[in-house]
Amino acid sequence: MDVYDEIIRLYEEAKTKGFNVGQAIYDQSFYFVDHALLVDNTIQSRIREYQFCKQFSCPPYPSLQETPAKVIEQFSVIEEEFNFCVAKKQREKKDA
């Protein structure tokens, strides 16, 4: 089994059990892979693009119709993970 097979398995398990997928993969992946090997420059650029669009309230493309579905999906995943992290930090702060 290679690393990507294991990540897919973690993804499916998290979805089935109702866990946050990003957090589940992140937490478990330390047991079998160096995270530096998982960094994808294209996705890192997409995250920066998302941050820019969010910060300056500007769309990534002139219109929704011109925005590729892949970009919309990636922005949605980034937003979901960002909101999860913010909520987690707030819970930790509240419990401290």
Contact 10, 24 (CB under 8 A): yes
What's the pTM value of the predicted model, to 2 decimals? 0.72
Nearest CA to 7 out of 17, 40, 21 is that of 21
pLDDT band of 12, cuts 50, 70, 90: very high
Give the integer Cα–Cα distance in Å for 68 and 44: 18
Q: Which two tokens stand for residue 82?
A: 């960002």
Per the structure block, which two tokens stand in for 77? 């995943």
Give residue 1's pLDDT: 59
pLDDT in tens, 42-93: 989 999 999 999 999 999 999 999 999 999 999 999 998 899 888 988 998 8
- Sorted by sequence, the CB contacts under 8 Å of residue 61 that are 6+ apart come out as 67, 68, 71
**pLDDT interval class at 16 (50, 70, 90):** very high
